[in-house]
């Protein structure tokens, strides 16, 4: 299946995952560079940010969704209307990883496209002492079996948060000049008539 390589000027990212894994914290850290220790339940919030790049206005919308499964219709609508997905789990919560697997299946079913841009995020990397999910196991599943991208991050420590958004925006075909690092990543991809290259260890997006 050939994918269009036309760069977009409007993109919607959606953050999905179980309750309490830190979706709102990651978004807040990216947009405001702040961190709130108290968990606040989210139903659905849409953030919009506009950038001007080489005279072109680029709008990035970030959808923060509920971790509750009591809004299936709302979640399905969020999936239908979005371009790229961050599936977030917490490294100290194995059940939240199971939720990520279910959400990925739902995204592929709704979008009917196995090339849908998805980044799996293991949040709360600052809780290494309480880790219950092996990063090696997730890396193997996500990159080799699913052909998606995997990153571990910490909203609390501001570790890898920018990289999560950079990867989402790159996969969503936003102008590559959004960041010099993003542009470098694009130039490493083979030119293959717009067909997405297979993701493997050589072009893994995992940041050590």
**Sequence-distant contacts of 194-197: CB under 8 A, at least 24 apart:** 194/2, 194/3, 194/4, 194/5, 195/1, 195/2, 195/3, 196/3, 196/115
pLDDT at position 105 is: 95
For residue 199 the two structure tokens come to: 């993701």
Pairwise CA distance, residues 25 & 40, whole Å: 10
Q: State how many domains the chain has.
A: 1
Position 146 in a domain: yes
SS3 65: strand
Residue with tokens 């299936």: 72
Residue 202 lies in a domain: no
**203 inside domain:** no
Q: How far apart are CA 59 and CA 51, in angstroms?
A: 6
Could you tell me the CA-to-CA distances from 35 to 32, 98, 122, 151, 203 in Å, in that order? 9, 26, 17, 19, 31
pLDDT per position as a tens digit, 175-186: 555 554 444 433
Share the mean pLDDT of the chain. Answer: 80
Q: Quick check: is 198 in a domain?
A: no
Contact criterion met (CB below 8 Å) for 78 and 84: no
Assess if residue 79 is contained within a domain: yes
Strand runs labelled E in the chain: 10-17, 44-53, 56-65, 84-90, 118-123, 149-152
Q: Give me the mean pLDDT over the 60-67 stretch.
A: 85
Pairwise pLDDT comparison (151 vs 54), residue with the higher score? 151
Domain membership of residue 1 (yes or no) is: no
Tell me which residue range forms the domain holding 137.
10-188
Tell me whether residue 17 is in a domain: yes
Asked whether residue 85 is assigned to any structural domain, the reply reads: yes
- What is the CATH number for 133? 3.40.50.300
Considering the entire predicted model, what is its pTM? 0.79
């Amino acid at each position: 299946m050939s994918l269009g390589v036309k760069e977009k000027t409007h993109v919607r990212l959606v953050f999905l995952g179980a309750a309490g894994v830190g979706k709102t914290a990651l978004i807040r850290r990216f947009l405001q560079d702040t961190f709130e220790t108290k968990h606040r339940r989210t139903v659905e919030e849409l953030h919009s940010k506009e950038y001007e790049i080489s005279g072109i206005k680029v709008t990035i919308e970030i959808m923060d969704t509920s971790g509750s499964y009591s809004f299936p219709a709302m979640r399905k609508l969020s999936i239908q209307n979005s371009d790229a997905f961050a599936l977030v789990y917490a490294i100290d919560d194995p059940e939240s990883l199971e939720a990520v697997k279910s959400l990925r299946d739902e995204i592929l079913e709704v979008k009917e496209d196995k090339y849908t841009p998805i980044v799996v995020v293991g949040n709360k990397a600052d809780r290494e002492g309480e880790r219950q999910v092996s990063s090696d196991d997730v890396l193997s599943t996500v990159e080799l079996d699913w052909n998606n991208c995997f990153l571990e991050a910490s909203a609390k420590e501001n570790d890898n948060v920018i990289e999560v958004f950079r990867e989402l925006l790159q996969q969503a075909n936003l102008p590559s000049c959004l960041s010099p690092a993003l542009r470098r990543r694009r130039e490493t991809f083979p030119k293959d008539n717009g067909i997405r290259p297979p993701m493997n260890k050589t072009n893994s997006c995992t940041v050590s």
